[in-house]
Amino acid sequence: MTSSPADTPDTSLDQTPAAASEHLHIAVVGAGKAGTAVARSLLDAGYRVSLSASGDPQALALMAGIITPGAEPKWTRDAVADTDLVILALPLHRLHLVDPALLEGKVVVDAMNYWPPVDGDIPGFAAKDLGSSEVVQEMLPGAAVVKTFNHTGYSTLEPDRRPAGHPERLGLAVAGNQQDAVALVSAVVHRIGYDPVPVASLAGTLFLQPGGSAFGARLTAAQLKELALVAVPAI
């Protein structure tokens, strides 16, 4: 695992061309509380955002105009077609409704969690020794899956945002198997107001899931890195 020093803002993240607002177009799939919180944070950071849900985008437009003003409501296939980054923020039990072919060649953020009382018993996800994002990666073999946003609450994501160097700025883990994908998502996390803590593999990320040591905890990058080093000692 690698991480930027918590007390020294990584200004190189500001220079990542793909992270510039005029270049990056992001699709958020899922218009619930988590998806809309992420969408608003992205919009406020200057990104172009497409938003999709299970229904007709015309109906979604009525809600989006109030809850996520500036987001472009679209069918999922249209939302992800011309985007640089896709964020999955839908209930995990609905993931099978998303055609994996739509996400071929895409960097895909998994912001979802497995909640048995809500999702039921989904084969694969119930495994105690396998992180849910590892299963998502298996379901989306043509995508580069990156795990982030899932270990913070939708109600705190926006108010906890802070500028780089702020003493109260918190960390967000960014885990993935492909370094370029992790770097891209880390730049986005930095831009919206958090210190990214890159983790170089989806393996061992149970600490970011419900019941894990980092789940729901408001941690600085240094504190989060300490937990990651314990949970993923080989990274």
- DSSP letters along the chain, please? -----TTS--GGGGG-GGGSTTT-EEEEE--SHHHHHHHHHHHHTT-EEEEE-SS-HHHHHHHHHHHSTT-EE--HHHHHHT-SEEEE-S-GGGGGGS-GGGGTT-EEEE-----HHHH---TTTT-TTS-HHHHHHHH-TTSEEEE-STTS-HHHHTTT---TT-TTPPEEEEEES-HHHHHHHHHHHHHHT-EEEEES-STTGGGGSTTSTTTT----HHHHHHHHHHHSTT-
Render pLDDT for 33-52 as a digit per residue (tens, 0 to 9). Answer: 999 999 999 999 999 999 99
pLDDT band for 94, please (50, 70, 90 cuts): very high
What is the per-residue pLDDT for 127? 75
In a domain, 1, yes or no: no
Range of the domain at 54: 11-231
**What's 107's domain CATH number?**
3.40.50.720
Render pLDDT for 134-172 as a digit per residue (tens, 0 to 9). Answer: 999 999 999 999 999 999 999 999 999 999 999 999 999
Average pLDDT value over all residues in the chain: 90
Q: How many domains does the chain have?
A: 1
In a domain, 2, yes or no: no
In a domain, 3, yes or no: no
